[in-house]
Amino acid sequence: MTIALAVIGGTGLYQFPGLENIERRSVDTPFGPTSAPVVLGEFKNQRLAFLARHGEGHSVPPHRVNYRANVWALHSLGARRVIGVNAVGGIRDDMGPKVVVLPDQVIDYTHGRYTSFCDVDGAEVKHIDFSEPYSRALRSALRDAATKAEVAVVDNGCYGATQGPRLETIAEIARMRRDGCDLVGMTGMPEAALARELELEYACIALVANWAAGCGDQAEISLEEIFANLATATQAVPKLIAALLEG
């Protein structure tokens, strides 16, 4: 059965709820091992691939995720549409904790990561068009799925990708706000660019876990609150994916 969709799960999403007839696949890639085995199964009578970005026990920090291996593995198994689920902090006033966002832009503040499949000797150099970092068609399908599933989403926003694993300072977030960022996360790049290099349709479901530093009315960022908010927001993901697959 052809893979209808691949999902890369972020913090708080280490298994995909409702996946049946599961097969775990370790994929050899030219770029080393993936964060975890790819889990193949059936969801809503369609073939779905799931990969835990940080490993199934959250053992891989954001700056050490093997993004190239993860994206390559999904492509090699036949996935052509990929949804990245990302835990983020909210900067814009309408992007508080537990909000689900479908961002449409990215600013990359990361450094020292392998950002391209061209970073190997002899590889073809590809100058991809990254004007719109997320697939317009897949974002549109997610919007329709949200309406069908009655899941509230914010349909736009600029994702600022930072290095991690530490959270950001108030001054850094203030700069990001001036730059036009609405969300801050640590794993949005280079995943989106790598997917574009392989000509995959790629979109992001961003789950707001907390207000970013200096935003909202919180005195400090609590990890306990982050995981509690993620547990709530993550419940929207299988609903969105189900409606997406059902068309």
Model confidence pLDDT, tens digit, residues 112-168: 999 999 887 777 888 999 999 999 999 999 999 999 999 999 999 999 999 999 999
For residues 77 and 180, give the distance between their C-alpha atoms in angstroms, rounded to a whole number. Answer: 36
- Examine the pLDDT at 12 and tell me if it is beyond 90: no
pTM for this entry? 0.95
Confirm whether residue 92 is marked as ligand binding.
no
Tens of pLDDT along 158-179? 999 999 999 999 999 999 999 9
Residue 32: which pLDDT band, with cuts at 50, 70 and 90? very high
Confirm whether residue 115 is marked as ligand binding.
no
For residues 6 and 149, give the distance between their C-alpha atoms in angstroms, rounded to a whole number. Answer: 19
pLDDT reported for residue 25 = 95
Confirm whether residue 211 is marked as ligand binding.
yes
- Examine the pLDDT at 72 and tell me if it is beyond 90: yes
Confirm whether residue 11 is marked as ligand binding.
yes
- Examine the pLDDT at 219 and tell me if it is beyond 80: no
If you compute the radius of gyration of the chain from its CA atoms, what whole number of angstroms results? 17
Confirm whether residue 210 is marked as ligand binding.
yes
- Examine the pLDDT at 31 and tell me if it is beyond 90: yes
**Which of 200, 238, 240 lies closest to 41, judged by CA?**
238
Confirm whether residue 75 is marked as ligand binding.
no
pLDDT reported for residue 175 = 98
Q: In terms of DSSP bridges, do strands 81-90 and 46-52 run parallel, antiparallel, or are they unpaired?
A: unpaired
What is the CATH T-level fold of the domain 3-246, as seen in this structure? Rossmann fold (3.40.50)
**Which of 5, 241, 219 lies closest to 100, judged by CA?**
241
Tens of pLDDT along 200-214? 999 999 999 999 999
- Examine the pLDDT at 222 and tell me if it is beyond 90: no
- Peptide bond before residue 165 is cis, with ω within 30 degrees of 0: yes
